Chain A
Amino acid sequence: MELVVTDLAVERGGLTVLERLSFRLAAGEALILRGPNGVGKTTLLRTLAGLQPAVQGTISLPAESLTYGAHADGLKAVLTVRENLEFWAAIHGGGDVARAMADMNLTDLADRRAANLSAGQKRRLGLARLLVTGRPIWVLDEPTVSLDQASVALFGAVVRAHLTGGGMALLATHIDLGLPEARVLDLGPFRATSPQISSGRGFDEAFA
């Protein structure tokens, strides 16, 4: 299994933000994306996740192999921690909810409503979702926001276990996750040199 990105260009709001981007990620590898705010990290991750089309270039990865972790955790406030995880597990064909809760130190909070969790606890729940999807490629946007040091270490260990099990991870982050084996890709050099307005396609392509 491999994620191969070739000569990729991505756009946000009609402006090309990154171009000529190529990299490859094999099973068991992690890639950390760095770059100043606004360089296009989130845009790149959303493009890889298939949420928006690439301007040019190709992304090749096995079908149904990727899960995306965004700034928002996709939690329902009126559901409990366990119900939230059970839902995502069921959607993805049944992951191990109890183990995911144990791995992210959520077992004691299992029956608490997500509305009553702290920001860091919500984040841990959002990250536990990755475990129940059973998908090998994790594409994560700032996964450690609002986590304390202990939780960052916990998350680092979870990512490492995922990599050891043959998974891959692509992380946009500014802080040190304690993953020395991870490669770092600085997006600065790939910033689009001549940001041109791409054609405003909007809804038109729904009719194409």
Chain B
Amino acid sequence: MMSLLVRDLRLAFRAGGGFGLGLAFFLLVAVLVPLGVGPEGSTLAKIAPGILWVGALLACLLSLDRIFALDFEDGSLDLLATSPIPMEGVVAVKALAHWLVTGLALTLVSPVLGVLMNLPPAGFFWLVASLLAGTPALSVIGAFGAALTVGVKRGGLLLSLLVLPLYVPTLIFGAEVVKRGAQGAEVGTPLLLLAGITAGSVALLPFAAAAAIRVNLR
């Protein structure tokens, strides 16, 4: 399974891979929103948690259809299905690889973008913490959506429509953590709910995604 992770990361970082796409999108959102909203710091500070989380979510969504579609097109998915690795393991590893190149990368650059969005100083720690707790759920839910639509031509649109409603709870609680953190309020409840969504999705969705892939491979 380690070799699958290494291969996926290598593919993402080589030319034509997905790395950088999500990051660039996230950066664009954080640069363009202040230009569009205007220079009033108080307005920006107020919308910063929501915008940063929406940006992170959409950046994650951008690269979802690559999780299985490329392997399906070149036949690797058939070969992985007959390999000793269980399909659940394949899904989990691919979701992990997706998180490492998008979710984790977004989390690491988010403080810089927080500055652009005039996020109050107290919010920076909670921005990183909430992204760290919430983005794994985005990758796993996305992998599930990608598994459902693998083999569908131009499945990207269908994938977005399937996945976006499932992303809503993560978005709400993630942005709530940052908002409360920035105001210096109690963040325990939304952070726990956010972590709970992540833990639940990581535990359950690989099985659902593997079942969907088996059906789609026929």
Contact = CB atoms under 8 A, between A and B. Distances in A.
Q: Do chains A and B stick together as partners?
A: yes
Interface in A162-189: none
B10 A79 contact: yes
Interface stretch (B29-37, B71-79, B100-108, B193-201): B71-79
Nearest to B2: A90
A88 B82 CA distance: 12
Contact of B78 (A68, A76, A88, A206): A68
Nearest to B148: A203
Interface stretch (A25-33, A47-55, A98-106): A47-55
A70 B75 contact: yes
Specify which of B15, B71, B76, B212 lies most central, judged by the most chain A CB atoms within 10 Å of its CB. B76
A92 B82 contact: no
Contacts of A66: 82
B212 A87 contact: no
A108 interface: no
A52 to B, nearest CB: 4
Contacts, number: 81
Nearest to B3: A90
Given A76-B11, A78-B15, A91 B84 contact: yes
Contacts of A72: 73-75, 78
Contacts of B214: 206
A51 B11 contact: no
By DSSP majority rule, is chain B's interface helix, strand, loop, or mixed?
helix
B96 to A, nearest CB: 16
A70 B78 contact: yes
Interface in A46-94: 46, 49-53, 64, 66-68, 70-79, 83, 86-88, 90-93
Contact of A74 (B17, B76, B212): B76
A91 B4 contact: yes
Contact of B76 (A51, A76, A93, A202): A76
Contacts of B10: 79, 83
Given A66-B82, A78-B15, A51 B75 contact: no
B79 A51 contact: no
A86 B83 CA distance: 14
A73 B74 contact: yes
16 contacts: A46-B218, A50-B82, A51-B81, A51-B218, A52-B218, A68-B79, A71-B75, A73-B75, A76-B11, A78-B17, A79-B11, A79-B14, A83-B10, A90-B2, A91-B4, A133-B83
